[in-house]
Amino acid sequence: MRAFADTNIAVYAESDDAEKSKRARLIIEAAPVISTQVVNETVASLTTKYKFSKSDAYEVAAAPMDLSEVVAVSQSTVRQAMSLAVRYQLSHWDALIVAAALEAKCERLYSEDFQHQQVFDGRLTVNNPFLD
């Protein structure tokens, strides 16, 4: 099954929460698809919210890039995100994640930012790996 990992997966891989970190690392090690947005949001989150240095944040963001297929956010991704945001009442940034996953033909989206088991376009199912 082709899977896409949201930004929170990459961020939690570096978490002090041992259980979340373990679960996130297992997902990253399974080589999911990520988008350029995920890489950029990871750097932003680590440097602002978690006060990582830029070099440390870049090192963390490089790990999923090295293990994963990275898809670009293109004009068509943005257009699809606009449609998804309206149809599913998503934020623009969340809709970009869903659009990238759909364009990459993923069937699973690992994220804690959506309703667990929510299905988009009848073919992409959200899985929150941090639920017990």
pLDDT tens digits for range 57-68: 999 999 999 999
* CB hemisphere CA count around 22 (13 angstroms): 3
Superfamily of domain 3-127: 5'-nuclease (3.40.50.1010)
Where do the domains of the chain lie?
3-127
pTM of the entire predicted model: 0.95
Q: What average pLDDT does range 41-69 have in this prediction?
A: 94
pLDDT tens digits for range 80-93: 999 999 999 999 99
Rounded (to 5) percent helix, strand, coil in the chain: 55, 15, 35
Classify residue 3 as exposed, middle or buried by CB count within 10 Å of its CB (0-12, 13-18, 19+): buried
Residue 112 token pair? 């804690």
